[in-house]
Amino acid sequence: MSSLTLFEAIKSACVLQEAPSPIYLRSFRTARPAREHRFTFHSTAAALNPGATSATLVSGISFERIPPDGRSDYALIVNAGGEFQTVDELRVEHASINAVETFVQFALTSVESAEGEPAPVDVFLIVPLTAEIAGSSRVRFTFSVSHRSYDGNVTALEHAIPDCLVPLT
């Protein structure tokens, strides 16, 4: 499974591999990262537009306002809450879609950098609404977080980022 460094997703959306449906990552440098998960829905084209800003991504609509026949034009956008740095690595560890729940488990590696000071970023996960995802009653994101030190030692960080549950009913 390949990881994506959060810095790579600053200029434009990058697709995270290993998911049954595309999941995109966008990140923006920030002075204050989001502390709690926030979610909204926006047109997929606007969310993936290279000119989109973090303000664009948080200014969406609720799921109820999306016309049922237009859901395929929209994406779920989650502004992940937590401490994220430009040098951190994110990958999809597991993903599944069924009628009850769309589930994605992410693995985040917090990396100590020996090369300068990493910058804090806001992380946005963009999930286009396929018929299967829109047919689920909810979307759940979980995060397993580990820390990799300068010398390569990896330590698990329990409960570093809480689960994110998005109802779709």
Segment 93-119, tens digit of pLDDT: 999 999 899 999 999 999 887 776 789
| pLDDT of 1 above 90 | no
Indicate if the pLDDT at residue 155 is higher than 70: yes
Q: Give the residue-averaged pLDDT of 11-26.
A: 88
Residue 20 confidence (pLDDT): 79
| Model-wide pTM > 0.95 | no
The pLDDT mean for the chain works out to: 92
42-72 pLDDT, tens digit each:
999 999 999 999 999 999 999 999 999 999 9
DSSP string, 71-128: GGGEEEEEEE-S--BTT-EEEEEEEEE-SS-EEEEEEEEEE--SSSPPPBEEEEEEEE
User: Nearest CA to 91 among 104, 107, 71?
Assistant: 107
Note down the domain range covering 99: 4-167
Reference 66, options 126, 134, 125; nearest CA is: 134
pLDDT digits (tens, 9 = 90+) for 122-132: 999 999 999 99
Q: How many domains does the chain have?
A: 1
Percent of the chain whose pLDDT exceeds 70: 99
Q: What is the pLDDT of residue 127?
A: 96
